[in-house]
């Protein structure tokens, strides 16, 4: 049968299920050299029958795989919770840090405006030098205190952000071992 005849037969509602396909069953038999008619090598399974052994091994493998998947699911949920806590803590600490920066900026702006108002009201050059020296000392002291506050907030931010992840990770490792 030519390939044209076969395609015509398939086109007329013929199907493989009904047995009236373009390729007959005899055409798909194994050739003498261990290949099918299509030239594909046949993969033969060994003909050894070990009743129950392969089924038990497969069952054990599936049980181990299922157990591993459950452990990974629990670990994933724990890490998700740790990241959620870390994110919340990070958001709070970052907000505190940002508010402190705004507070410091406001205090520095008020101090600078007060200095310029006092500077404009000065009567002599010696008053200008006295006010400038006083302002420099006051600005340096304020900056030192502000830097200490910002450093403490930054350390708190770093600690609180990493702590939930570190704690949950330690719990997961402890359970795994």
Residue 51, pLDDT score: 56
The whole-angstrom separation of Cα 103 and Cα 109 is 10
- For residue 159, the model assigns a pLDDT of 85
How high is the pLDDT of residue 7? 47
Tell me if 129 sits within 8 A of 42, measured CB to CB.
no
Average pLDDT score over the chain: 76
Cβ atoms of residues 82 and 162 within 8 Å: no
Letter string b/e over residues 154-170, b meaning 16 or more CB atoms within 10 A of that residue's CB: eeebeebbeebeeebee
Residue 98: the pLDDT is: 92
Range in 36-50, 114-128, 130-144 the model is least confident about: 36-50
Q: Which residues pair with 41 in a beta bridge?
A: 35
Confidence tier at 147 by pLDDT (50, 70, 90): very high
Which pLDDT score, from 0 to 100, does residue 160 have?
A: 83
pLDDT, tens digit, 9 for 90 and up, residues 75-134: 788 788 888 888 888 888 889 999 999 999 999 999 999 999 998 988 899 999 999 999
**All residues at 6 or more sequence positions from 131 whose CB lies less than 8 Å from its CB, including other chains:** 115, 118, 119, 122
Q: Kindly report which listed range (30-44, 61-75, 85-99) carries the lowest average pLDDT score.
A: 30-44
Q: Is the pLDDT of residue 31 over 90?
A: no
Query: How many Å apart are CA 78 and CA 84, to the nearest integer?
Result: 10
């Amino acid at each position: 049968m030519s390939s044209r005849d076969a395609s015509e037969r398939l086109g007329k509602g013929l199907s493989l299920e009904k047995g009236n396909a373009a390729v007959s069953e005899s055409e798909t038999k194994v050739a003498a050299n261990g290949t099918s008619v299509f030239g594909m090598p046949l993969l033969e399974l060994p003909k050894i029958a070990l009743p129950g052994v392969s089924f038990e091994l497969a069952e054990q493998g599936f049980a181990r795989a299922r157990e591993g998947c459950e452990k990974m699911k629990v670990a994933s949920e724990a890490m998700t919770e740790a990241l959620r806590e870390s994110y919340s803590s990070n958001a709070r600490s970052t907000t505190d840090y940002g508010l402190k920066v705004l507070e410091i900026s406001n205090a520095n702006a008020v101090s600078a405006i007060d200095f310029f108002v006092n500077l404009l009201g000065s009567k002599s050059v010696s008053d200008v030098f006295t006010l400038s020296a006083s302002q420099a000392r006051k600005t340096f002291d304020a900056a030192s205190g502000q830097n200490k506050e910002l450093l403490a907030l930054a350390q708190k931010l770093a600690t609180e952000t990493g702590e939930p992840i570190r704690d949950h990770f330690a719990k997961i490792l402890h359970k795994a071992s």
